[in-house]
Amino acid sequence: MVLDIEGTTTPIAFVHEVLFPFARAHLYEYVSDPRHAASIAEIAALLAPEHADDVSRGGRPPALVERYARWLMDRDRKSPGLKLLQGYIWERGYRSGQLRGQVFDDVVPAIRKWHDAGIMVAIYSSGSVLAQRLLFESTPDGDLTPQLSGFFDTAVGPKTSPSSYTRIAASLGHPANQVLFVSDVTAELNAAREAGLQVILSIRPGNALQQGAEDFEAVKNFYAISP
């Protein structure tokens, strides 16, 4: 089992109304703290090629990490550097108790049931692996990470690229046709299906209507999934 997060395990509203605003509100505080110099250098190195590409395309992105990060946030860019920066900021929020992971009510019992049945459960999200771990460590029902066999972000490739799913299946040690991917985005499901995975469309409150949704088996909760 490979699960998406936003719109699949976790309400879209939590991501867009809690996590994203928290990162934006604490961005300047984080990047201006000298104790984070090493982390900022790491993030700057990740952002540099993306910034150069934006400039080459005729854009006028700001050069400073903090201002460029805001520029990327405004565009909802799936930027690895931005996602890592957000993860570091959210880590402070989770550790301080200001943030707590949120999942749908059916997620915890389903993951525990699958795990107890010997089914590997992994996560694939555009959010950084750090951000994924923080969310599942801090659910109201406790730490779910012991029941999760892997975390994957866009370091394995874009979520709309079939090769990303091929790499994930290989990493989990299973043939692609023995892996089930659940997501609320049909473009991702199309890519996973092309790679040979089984796929299911997640229908959750607040999810956007998806083009081609009729081409996929759909579920409204994890209780309906019987791997």
Residue 183 has what pLDDT?
98
Say if residue 75 is in the same domain as residue 116: no
Question: Is the pLDDT higher at 22 or at 59?
Answer: 22
CA distances from 139 to 95, 125, 133, 144, 221 (A): 13, 17, 11, 7, 17
pLDDT value at 156 more than 70: yes
Among 96, 111, 138, residue at a domain's last position = 96
Say if residue 168 is in the same domain as residue 69: no
Which amino acid type is present at position 158? P
Residue 59 has what pLDDT?
86
Number of H helices, E strands in the chain: 10, 6
Among 96, 122, 141, residue at a domain's last position = 96
Instruction: Report the C-alpha dihedral over residues 32, 45, 168, 20, rounded to 10 degrees.
Output: 30
Say if residue 133 is in the same domain as residue 35: no
What's the whole-number mean pLDDT along residues 88-104? 96
Considering the chain, what percentage of its residues have pLDDT values greater than 70? 100
What's the whole-number mean pLDDT along residues 70-84? 94
Return the bridge partners of 6, or none. 10
Say if residue 144 is in the same domain as residue 81: no
Say if residue 178 is in the same domain as residue 144: yes
Residue 107 has what pLDDT?
97
Instruction: Classify strands 198-202 and 2-3 as parallel, antiparallel or unpaired.
Output: unpaired
Say if residue 79 is in the same domain as residue 142: no
Ramachandran quadrant class, 203 (left: phi over 0; alpha: psi -120 to 50; beta: rest): beta
Residue 103 has what pLDDT?
97
Domain extent, residue 214, equals 2-11+101-224
Among 96, 131, 153, residue at a domain's last position = 96
Say if residue 70 is in the same domain as residue 53: yes
Provide the mean pLDDT of the chain. 96
Q: Look up the CATH number of the domain holding residue 186.
A: 3.40.50.1000
Say if residue 6 is in the same domain as residue 52: no
Q: What domain count does the chain have?
A: 2
What's the whole-number mean pLDDT along residues 192-217? 96
Lowest mean pLDDT among 8-17, 55-64, 99-108, 176-185: 55-64
Say if residue 83 is in the same domain as residue 106: no
Say if residue 89 is in the same domain as residue 117: no
Lowest mean pLDDT among 47-51, 60-64, 97-101, 161-165: 60-64
Residue 148 has what pLDDT?
98
Sign of the torsion formed by the C-alpha atoms of 154, 160, 162 and 168: positive
Phi first, then psi: what are they for 8, rounded to 5°? -125, -60
In this prediction the pTM is 0.93
pLDDT value at 226 more than 90: no
pLDDT value at 227 more than 70: no
Q: Residue 211 and residue 205: Cα distance in Å, rounded? A: 17
Say if residue 76 is in the same domain as residue 164: no
* Spatial strand order in the sheet of 122-124: 150-152, 122-124, 2-3, 180-183, 198-202, 218-219
Say if residue 91 is in the same domain as residue 107: no
Structure tokens, 83: 């996602």
Going by pLDDT thresholds of 50, 70 and 90, the confidence category of residue 127 is: very high
